[in-house]
Amino acid sequence: MEARTRGSMSSSIGGSEELEANLTLSDRLKVFKGSTFDPEAYVTSKCQHMNEKETKHLTSYLVELKKASAEEMRKSVYANYAAFIRTSKEISALEGQLLSMRNLLSAQAALVHGLADGVHISSLCTDDADDLTDQDLYNMDSKQLSKIETWVVEFFDRLEVLLAEKRVDESMAALEEGRRVAMEAQEQRTLSPSTLLSLNNEIKAKRQELADQLAEAIGQPSTRAGELRSAVLALKKLGDGSRAHTLLLKSYERRLQANIQSLRGSNTSYGVAFAATLSQLVFSTIAQAASDSLAVVGEDPSYSSELVTWAVKQAESFALLLKRHTLASSAAAGSLRVTAECIQLCASHCSSLESRGLALSPVLLKHFRPGVEQALTGNLKRIEQSSAALAASDDWSLAYTPTGSRASSSTPIAPHLKLSISAQRFNSMVQEFLEDAGPLDEALQLDGIALDGVLQVFNAYVDLLINALPGSAENEENPVHRIVRIAETESQQTALLVNALLLADELIPRSALRILPQGGTNQSTPRRGASSDRQNRPEQREWKKKLQRSVDRLRDSFCRQHALELIFTEEGEVRLSSEIYILMDETTEEPEWFPSPIFQELFAKLTRIATIVSDMFVGRERFATILLMRLTETVILWISDDQSFWEEMETGDKPLGPLGLQQFYLDMEFVMIFASQGRYLSRNLHQVIKNIIARAIEAVSATGLDPYTTLPEEEWFAEVAQIAIKMLTGKGNFGGHGERDVTSPSVSSAKSYTSN
């Protein structure tokens, strides 16, 4: 098929392929060399009867012909290259000879004019010079003029040779000599005006020619550093310092771009090694350019401004290149360590230039900051996601943190601190994050952003801990969060508090010292108490308070959950209702004066939790006390704020009676006594209980009864409460002691409860 197509194609363009193969390339190109060749007519004649395939084949044929023509031209150039060079040299030699002839003609013309001027001047002289004849004076002047003109001619020839051989120093010396001779000739009037003008013009032209030679040498990439400085200095001495300085900076820029292209071509990876090499290359070039600039032009403000502008341009180009090839990819992957190392390298190189008056750090940081913030965000997102995954499988058992990781080895956890698996890993990730963010903070002042990010991920982790509580409000509102493993037992639930407290109170603040402002303190040799000073600053205290508020959220959720377990049944019915006390006055039997079952359960729960927290919160007894205090307050405040509870007791069909009041009084007194003994009776709790008792007494008084005539003394309530505490804790032994009859209804009730 291809053969048929090519055969058809060859016939359509005027010959077979065999015929074309026998033709030489020059014969095939003759049709295009004529002055009357019309491309459009040629294409129309060939393509008039072609189909699509033949047209494509013709196009391919013409492209191949074009390539062959280019190759023929290249061969022709190479074949005649030597002749071309030889001809060029001959032309240059002819130009030099013509220039010499022009100089000789100018000198002869100047000589003729000088002779004419000398004759004219001698004719105007007076006859007072008796000792010299006119002929002697003419001969003397002719001899003097001939000597100067001869020097001028030789000067032109010598300067031409020096410039042709590019002997810069000798050329500059010759130009300086010519300038000096011209000035002397002008002062002494030893040269005619036309000759002096010719001499000055020639010196000016040769000075410009030498300047152009120097500029060309400066622009050559092959010019070495020493030769470059010499050429720039020479150009400055010629009076073109501005041009010399600009060419110097352009030369360094070209070399820098060439080196960068070579570096990019030799590197397959754009990681930290590439950033280090590129940074070293760019800033060392800027430093060398600054040194040469100072050596050439000194500290002239105009040149310094040009140097700063040039250095800023190079720094911006470097920042964009590094951002595109290294920082962007590391930021997208959340690789904060790579970003930090790159920026730290750049910052160190920038600091070395500050002594030269070049503060380039702001230029770099303006371009780096968005990428760094993206890397920070990505890293924090990774911490949050990893914490959520670990919380889904955490059994909420506490253990010492294993050593060996990068974070734990640099900031070890105290031996007495225990965390669950997810908290250990969370702490490790936060430490790594802050360790990597340290160099960034020094360069970019990102301590605020980093600390806010840590606070954000800590709040997210606390949300996970809250969702791990059984029946938490967050779980009910956000079913997707049920992937967190539920803490079933009270020990597991207390472990959630341990995780949050240790992280917020000690571990995270300790890690944050890496990026907290130093306040002028030398980090390598910190003074005593420096860490404490940094943490006691107002902004840091406020940050720590925010961490504590997150812990308080978890603590309040813990207390709310346990309070709801006491107040409500699993079916949602209220266990702590006013009926407990109202119905007591409807019975005819003697009540068993013992705390109500719900408050016995409250006491038992608080006793268990107190035992757990005493083991888990070693050294943090204050938090344990506040936890027990808040849990007790949560139950009592629910009673105080429950409007339906008080409406039934105060205005219901069956208001509170004397027996119900006595039982209610005993329950509240029981709570105050065991809370006081456990040392978690707060002033607020004591006052709320007193207000509740007073309100109950008023409810009975509203029925027309005098409650004080039926209520026993306060000592009775305290005695019964104390006996109940002993019975419930298994410490009661009333046989033969006369304190209370073991067969009394109250004792029986306590025994019945404790046996369960």
Task: With beta carbons less than 8 A apart as the criterion, state whether 585 and 658 touch.
Answer: yes
Residues 201 and 261 both lie in one domain: no
Q: Among residues 471, 535, 536, which one has the least CA distance to residue 509?
A: 535
| Residue that is last in its domain, among 34, 50, 79 | 79
Q: How deeply is 499 buried, as exposed, middle or buried, from its count of CB atoms within 10 A (0-12, 13-18, 19+)?
A: buried
Residue 568 gets which letter from DSSP?
B
Alpha-carbon span 203 to 190, nearest angstrom: 18
Percent of the chain residues topping a pLDDT of 70: 69
Q: What is the pLDDT of residue 333?
A: 61
| Per-residue pLDDT tens digits for 715-726 | 999 999 999 999
Domain stops at, among 79, 101, 128: 79
More confident residue, 567 or 234: 567
Element housing 399 (H / E): strand 399-400
Structure tokens at 698: 């008023």
Q: Is residue 528 part of a domain?
A: no
591 secondary structure, DSSP code:
P
Between the CA of residue 595 and those of 513, 529, 641, 666, 724, what are the distances in Å?
51, 52, 21, 6, 7
CA distance 604 to 592: 20
Above 70 in pLDDT, residue 291? yes
Domain-embedded: residue 122: yes
Confidence at residue 45, expressed as pLDDT on a 0 to 100 scale: 76
Taking CA atoms, 332 is separated from 272, 327, 379, in Å, by 16, 8, 9
* DSSP-H helix ranges across 220-326: 225-237, 241-266, 272-297, 301-322
In order of 649, 655, 714, the CA distances from 582 in angstroms are 7, 6, 22
pLDDT digits (tens, 9 = 90+) for 611-649: 999 888 888 888 999 999 999 999 999 999 999 999 988
Q: Taking residues 549-559, what's their average pLDDT?
A: 94
State the burial class of residue 431 (Cβ atoms within 10 Å of its Cβ: 0-12, 13-18, 19+): buried
Q: Provide CB contacts within 8 A for 353, sequence distance 6+.
A: 283, 286, 287, 290, 311, 359, 360
55 found inside a domain: yes
Domain that holds residue 742: 579-755
The verdict on residue 612 lying in a domain is: yes
| 387 is a domain residue | no
Least confident of 249-253, 592-596, 719-723: 249-253
Query: Is the pLDDT reported for residue 576 higher than 80?
Result: yes
**Residues 630 and 557 grouped into a single domain:** no
Render pLDDT for 401-422 as a digit per residue (tens, 0 to 9): 765 445 444 444 454 578 999 9
Q: What type of residue is 141?
A: D
Helix (H) and strand (E) counts in the chain: 33, 2
How high is the pLDDT of residue 705? 87
Query: What is the C-alpha to C-alpha distance for residues 656 and 649, in angstroms, rounded to an integer?
Result: 5
Contact by Cβ (8 Å): 448, 354? no
Same domain, 442 and 543: yes
Q: How far apart, in whole angstroms, are the C-alpha atoms of residue 253 and residue 238? A: 24
Q: What is the pLDDT of residues 41-97, one digit of tens each?
A: 777 777 777 787 888 888 888 888 888 887 777 677 666 656 666 776 678 678 767
CA–CA gap between residue 447 and residue 463 (Å, rounded): 24
Same-domain pairing of 556 and 587: no
Residue pair 247/215 in contact (Cβ under 8 Å)? The answer is: yes
Strand-pair category, 418-419 with 399-400: antiparallel
Helix, strand, coil percentages in the chain from 3-state DSSP, rounded to 5: 75, 0, 25
In a domain, 285, yes or no: yes
Classified as helix, coil or strand, 376 is: helix
Q: Are 613 and 681 in a shared domain?
A: yes
Per-residue pLDDT of 259-280, as tens digits, reads 888 887 765 566 778 888 888 8
- Please indicate, yes or no, whether residues 540 and 557 belong to a single structural domain of this protein: yes
Two tokens at 481?
């969060």
Answer whether residue 587 is part of any domain.
yes
Same domain? For 297 and 325 the reply is yes
Q: Are residues 422 and 305 in the same domain?
A: no
At 311 the pLDDT is: 86
How does pLDDT run across 302-346, given as a tens digit for each residue? 777 888 888 888 888 888 888 787 776 666 665 677 777 777 778
Instruction: Tell which of 342, 372, 402 closes a domain.
Output: 372
Per-residue pLDDT at 230 exceeds 90: no
The SS3 assignment for 642 reads coil
Token pair for 444: 């970019």
Strand partners, 418: 400
Provide the residue count of the chain. Answer: 756
Name the burial class of residue 342, with classes exposed (0-12), middle (13-18) and buried (19+) by CB atoms within 10 angstroms of its CB. buried
Shared-domain flag, residues 355 and 424:
no
CA pair distance 343, 276, nearest whole angstrom: 10
Closest to 667 measured CA to CA, from 620, 615, 597, 715: 597
- Select from 174, 169, 172 the least CA-distant residue to 155: 174
DSSP H helical ranges for 333-470: 336-354, 361-391, 406-410, 421-444, 447-467
Give burial (CB, 10 Å; 0-12/13-18/19+) of 315: buried
pLDDT above 90 as % of the chain: 23
Does 447 have pLDDT greater than 60? yes
Spatial separation of the C-alpha atoms in residues 644 and 651, rounded to whole Å: 10
How many structural domains comprise the chain?
5
Question: Which band of pLDDT confidence, cut at 50, 70 and 90, is reported for residue 1?
Answer: very low
Q: Which residues contact 747 (CB under 8 A, 6 or more apart)?
A: 723, 727, 732, 734, 740, 741
Q: What's the CA gap between 334 and 255, in Å, rounded?
A: 35
Q: Are residues 609 and 747 in the same domain?
A: yes
In a domain, 22, yes or no: yes
Q: How far is CA 513 from CA 372, 457, 509, 685, in A?
A: 20, 18, 7, 38
Q: Are residues 169 and 247 in the same domain?
A: no
The Cα 628–Cα 645 span in angstroms is 24
| Average pLDDT for the chain | 75
Question: What tokens does 664 get?
Answer: 């209610």
Mean pLDDT of the 96-124 span = 65
Task: Give burial (CB, 10 Å; 0-12/13-18/19+) of 462.
Answer: buried
Q: Is the same domain home to 52 and 162?
A: no
